[in-house]
């Protein structure tokens, strides 16, 4: 079974930052970081469109990011990390140029900072397995890892509540049994989603939300 320990901090690439306000917080680590490369891409955005409404949206996104984050710089450590990344990607027979070069700069910052890199476009970072932990959002393997982590926390809280309040039947029926049922559902859905079933992936997302609701209810009851 995969490790259910979930990162507490992670670097978002530009694709994730653009959609950040639409994402369930449970899909992301508690502490979010961006890079100066992503900030540069956002700064270029308003100048890359002739549509006034879109330009205004991009400008607002840039200003929100500037107000929210202290971006990680492409510093000397990142420059050295870029050399490692370039060597790995080149050895795999891929070219580091154009848009891909920008992605590799973001990956270098993640490597230097020893942070997982969150993206909607894992193919942009192919070839980096083993040196950068690239987390693909929206993929079944990521979703089931998240589900297992949430379920484990909920069951741990339920166990503490049983010890503290001596209510094994209630805690079992309210938290433990529903959590195990939802996890069984999630395990079945991830098999279908891994085979390309888009409806199963959507259902998996809903199941994770229900797991998170149970976890949050348990947290509240436990006074966390």
Q: What is the pLDDT of residues 75-127, one digit of tens each?
A: 999 999 999 999 998 887 777 777 789 999 999 999 999 999 998 877 788 78
pLDDT, averaged across the chain: 84
Through-space distance between the first and last CA atoms of the chain, rounded to whole angstroms:
28
Q: Is the CB of residue 151 less than 8 Å from the CB of residue 179? A: yes
146 or 178, higher pLDDT: 178
pLDDT of res. 106: 97
65 or 130, higher pLDDT: 65
Instruction: Report the run of H or E that residue 21 belongs to, with start and end.
Output: none
> Closest Cα partner for 216 from 147, 150, 171, 162?
150
């Amino acid at each position: 079974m995969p490790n259910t320990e979930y990162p507490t901090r992670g670097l978002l690439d530009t694709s994730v930052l653009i959609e950040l306000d639409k994402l369930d917080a449970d899909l992301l680590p508690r502490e979010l970081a961006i890079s100066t490369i992503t900030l540069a891409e956002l700064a270029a955005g308003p100048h890359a469109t002739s549509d006034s409404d879109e330009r205004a949206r991009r400008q607002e996104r840039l200003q929100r990011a500037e107000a929210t984050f202290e971006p990680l710089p492409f510093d000397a450590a990142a420059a050295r990390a870029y050399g490692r990344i370039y060597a790995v990607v080149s050895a795999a027979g891929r070219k580091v140029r154009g848009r891909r070069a920008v992605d590799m700069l973001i990956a270098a910052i993640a490597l230097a900072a020893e942070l997982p890199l969150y993206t909607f476009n894992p193919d942009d970072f192919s070839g980096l397995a083993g040196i950068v932990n690239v987390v693909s959002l929206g993929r079944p393997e990521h979703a089931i890892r998240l589900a297992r982590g949430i379920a484990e926390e909920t069951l741990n809280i339920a166990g503490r509540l049983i010890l503290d309040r001596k209510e094994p039947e209630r805690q079992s029926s309210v938290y433990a049994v529903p959590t195990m049922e939802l996890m069984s559902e999630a395990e079945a859905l991830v098999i279908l989603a891994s085979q390309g079933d888009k409806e199963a992936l959507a259902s998996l997302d809903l199941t994770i939300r229900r797991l998170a609701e149970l976890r949050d209810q348990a947290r509240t009851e436990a006074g966390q």
